[in-house]
DNA sequence: TAAGCTCTTGCAAACGTTTGCGATTACTAA
DNA sequence: TTAGTAATCGCAAACGTTTGCAAGAGCTTA
C-alpha cells in the first residue's frame, strides 16, 4: 500500500477512510494510465464482491473534489488517474484511437495570460483536455487515402 | 422560416427533411444563445405534441454531425446552437454562473501551432470550450470574503 | 473500551440518454 | 401521380449515472 501521504491528507480533511475507499484508491493507483468507471468497479469488485457501482461513483467524485484523482474525458467517457503530485499536467486525447497524451503546463501559460488580460476570465487549466488527432493516426489516415 | 441555405445543404447531403427535423432546427435557431436538450424538446413539443425525446436526441446528433449545429458543454450539460456561419467561434463557460461567452478563433491560433510543431498533434479547435470563472463572478467571490 | 454521533454504504428507484423494432413517412423514379 | 424503397418516427426497454433512504460502520470522546 503506497500513497500513505494521500491517506494522511484525506484524513486531515475529515474524510473517513472506509475499506471501500481504500480499495478504490488502490485500484485507480494501480491502473496505470487512465481507468474508466466500469473498469474501476470491476477490478474493485474482485477484491470485495459487495462493492456497489454507486459507491464507486460517489468515491471517485469525492476524490476528485479532494484533488486526489483527476478526471480525464476520453471520447465521451470519463477516466480517472491519481493526480500528478509534482506539478499538474494536461491531456491531449486522440479522437481516432482514444489515446491520451500528457501535456506539460508550460504550453498553456500564454493562453491563460491572454484570457486573463483580454477578458478577465480565469480559466480552469488544472484539468484541461484538448481533443484532436495524434501523429500516429494522422499517418494512418493519409495511408488510407 | 429562415435558414433556407441550411435546408438546401442538408438536402444535398441526402438528409430527409421531416417536419420533426424542421421544427427542431427552428427551435434551436430561435433559441438565442444556447439551448439544452430538454429546452429544445419542451419548445418543440408545444408545436407538435407527439414529439419524442429520442427524436430530439437523434436529430441534434445528426445536425451536429452535419455541422449544422454546434454542441457546447456548459457545466456537465450539453447545449446546442446554430453553427456560426462566418467563421467559427469558441466558448468560455463560467463554472460559477453557467454563463457562456464567445471567444474569437484568433486567441487559439498560437496554441494550435505550438501543439502541431511540438507534438504533431492536430487539435480539434472547431468546437472548443474552456471553463473557468468569469469577471463578474470573480468580483462576487471577492465581495463574499 | 464502549457509546454515541455522523457519515457512508448497499439497495432500489429515478433520471437522462441511447438503442431496437415495427409502423409510418419522405423521397425517387416511372 | 402513384408505387416502391429506404430512412425516420414513436414507443418501450436498456444503459450509465445519480439520488433517497434505512441499516451499518468509522471516528471521537469520555
Same domain, B112 and B63: no
**Strand C nucleotides, any atom under 7 Å to a protein CB:** 7-13, 16-20, 25-27
Predicted pLDDT of residue A144: 55
Predicted pLDDT of residue B87: 61
A44-55: pLDDT as tens digits = 999 999 999 999
Q: What is the DSSP string of A76-121?
A: TEEEEEE--SSS--EEEEETTT--EEEE-THHHHHHHHHHHHHH--
Number of H helices, E strands in chain B: 6, 7
B6-44: pLDDT as tens digits = 999 999 999 999 999 999 999 999 987 679 999 999 999
Same domain, B136 and B98: yes
Instruction: Give the end of a domain, one of B83, B117, B137.
Output: B83
Q: CA angle, B107 as apex, B101 and B112 as ends, to 5°?
A: 120
Cβ(B94)–Cβ(B133) below 8 Å: yes
Burial of A91 (0-12, 13-18, 19+ CB in 10 A): buried
A62-109: pLDDT as tens digits = 999 998 998 887 767 788 999 877 667 888 888 777 778 888 888 888
Task: Give the DSSP H or E segment for B35.
Answer: strand B35-36
Of residues A103, A108, A131, nearest to B124 (C-beta) = A131
The Cα A56–Cα A70 span in angstroms is 15
In chain B, the number of structural domains is: 2
Cell digits of residue B59? 436529430
Is A107 close to B111, i.e. CB distance below 8 A? yes
**Window 4-63 of chain B: CB closer than 7 A to strand D:** 15-16, 18, 20-21, 48, 50-52, 54-55, 58-59, 62
Size of interface A-B (CB pairs under 8 A): 79
Instruction: Give the end of a domain, one of B51, B83, B115.
Output: B83
The Cα B119–Cα A46 span in angstroms is 39
Cα A88 to chain centroid, rounded = 11
Same domain, B98 and B46: no
Same domain, B97 and B63: no
| Residue pLDDT tens, chain B, 145 long | 457 889 999 999 999 999 999 999 999 999 876 799 999 999 999 999 999 999 999 999 999 999 899 888 776 778 899 988 766 788 888 877 777 888 888 888 888 998 899 899 988 877 788 888 888 888 876 665 5
Same domain, B64 and B79: yes
The residue range of the domain holding B31 is 1-83
Chain A interface mutation, best of B122, B126, B136, B139, highest count of A Cβ atoms under 10 Å? B122
| 3-class state of residue B44 by DSSP | helix
Report yes or no: A123 at the B interface, CB cutoff 8 Å: yes
* Nearest by Cα to A92 from A82, A104, A80, A78: A104
Whether the CA torsion A37, A39, A44, A46 is positive or negative: it is: positive
Same domain, B76 and B136: no
Same domain, A70 and A136: no
Q: For A85 and D11, how far is CA from C1' in angstroms?
A: 51
Quickly count: other Cβ atoms within 10 Å of residue A54's Cβ.
9
The residue assigned the cell 486526489 is A68
Q: What is the CATH number of the domain that holds A67?
A: 1.10.10.10
Amino acid at each position: 500500500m503506497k500513497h500513505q501521504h494521500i491517506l494522511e491528507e484525506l484524513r486531515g480533511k475529515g474524510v473517513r477512510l472506509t475499506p471501500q475507499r481504500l480499495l478504490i484508491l488502490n485500484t485507480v493507483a494501480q491502473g496505470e494510465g487512465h481507468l474508466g468507471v466500469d473498469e474501476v468497479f470491476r477490478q474493485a469488485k474482485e477484491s470485495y464482491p459487495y462493492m456497489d457501482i454507486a459507491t464507486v461513483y460517489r468515491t471517485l467524485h469525492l476524490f476528485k473534489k479532494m484533488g486526489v484523482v483527476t478526471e480525464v474525458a476520453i471520447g465521451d467517457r470519463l477516466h480517472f488517474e491519481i493526480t500528478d503530485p509534482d506539478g499538474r499536467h494536461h491531456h491531449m486525447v486522440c479522437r481516432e484511437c482514444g489515446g491520451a497524451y500528457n501535456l506539460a503546463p508550460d504550453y498553456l501559460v500564454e493562453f491563460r495570460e491572454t484570457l486573463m488580460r483580454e477578458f478577465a476570465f480565469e480559466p480552469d487549466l488544472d484539468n484541461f483536455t484538448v481533443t484532436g488527432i495524434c501523429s500516429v493516426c494522422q499517418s494512418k489516415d493519409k495511408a488510407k487515402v
